[in-house]
Amino acid sequence: MDTMETRRNAIVNFINENGTVSFAEIKKEFPNVSEMTLRTDLKFLDEEKRILRIHGGAKSVQTIIESDDFLGKRFVRSIEEKKLIAEKALAVLKEGAAVYLDSGSTATMLAGMFPDESRLIYTTGLTCATELSALEKPSVMIPGGKLNRYSQSVYGFTAIKELERVNFDQAFMGVTGFHTSTGFACGMSDEAILKQMAIRQSEQVIVLMDSSKIGKKCSYTFCDFSDIDIIISDGKLPEDFLAECNRYGVEVL
């Protein structure tokens, strides 16, 4: 890997770690790189959709879209971890339960494992719905709303109002990032409100998240430990996070 590519990767990592940064902060982080070179780097990275340039700085793509990247790219990351999480989630799925299934690559993997049983399943993930379409017995519902082309999901006021009418036994929620200062969060305001509604309407809330989500800041908080019953992960969650789970009585699988 050449120096330029190494530097640009480092810039992306710095922006992702901090969410939104000013150009002054970028210059401070890379003191040996000229201002002109940094601006060229930011322009290139923006065109490649790896960051978003804003007035006076840059923002992580993670804080702009619901997912941590284009969904297609996420499917090829941490496949074994996602499979492990999906298998654990399947073990806590209650027979005949009315279920809310969030969007995302891990949720999609879980959807592909759902048993062909009579139950109500609401999902905002189009890829989840595609997987569930192979089943004959469940009633699969997709709420109306706007299309998020990045995460292949539905969001918006219409979807939120539809979920308000449904009572779920279990909600399987995805997470874009968790940080001590933001809690469990995602990158879109409407998406956060939709997730909050699904949580509010659910008797049991189960969060699906691999350890890579820890430490990631996102713009919109949708829940905290007190809203969650179970967190299903890859067995690599840090000790301080596990301590908070224990403090709030959240079961970790």
Query: Each residue of 169-200: pLDDT tens digit?
Result: 999 999 989 999 999 998 788 889 999 999 99
Query: CA 194 to CA 192: how far, in whole Å?
Result: 5
Q: What is the mean pLDDT of the chain?
A: 89
Looking at residue 231, what is its pLDDT? 98
In angstroms, the CA 130 to CA 112 distance is 9
Q: What is the CA radius of gyration of the chain?
A: 19
Could you list the beta-strand ranges (E) of the chain. 20-22, 51-54, 57-60, 99-101, 120-123, 139-141, 146-148, 153-155, 168-174, 177-179, 183-186, 202-208, 220-223, 230-232, 251-252
Convert the pLDDT of each residue in 42-51 to its tens digit: 999 988 878 8
pTM reported for the whole predicted model: 0.72
Asked whether residue 217 carries a pLDDT value surpassing 90, the answer given is no
pLDDT of 2 reads 59
1 confidence band (pLDDT: 50, 70, 90): very low
Chain-centre distance for alpha carbon 10: 23
Whether the predicted pLDDT of 77 surpasses 70: no
- 30: DSSP letter: S
CA distances from 1 to 7, 12, 44, 207 (A): 10, 15, 17, 37
Structure tokens, 135:
């089943």
Q: Which of 174, 177, 148 is nearest to 18 (CA)?
A: 177
Edge to edge, what strands does the sheet with 183-186 contain?
Answer: 177-179, 183-186, 220-223
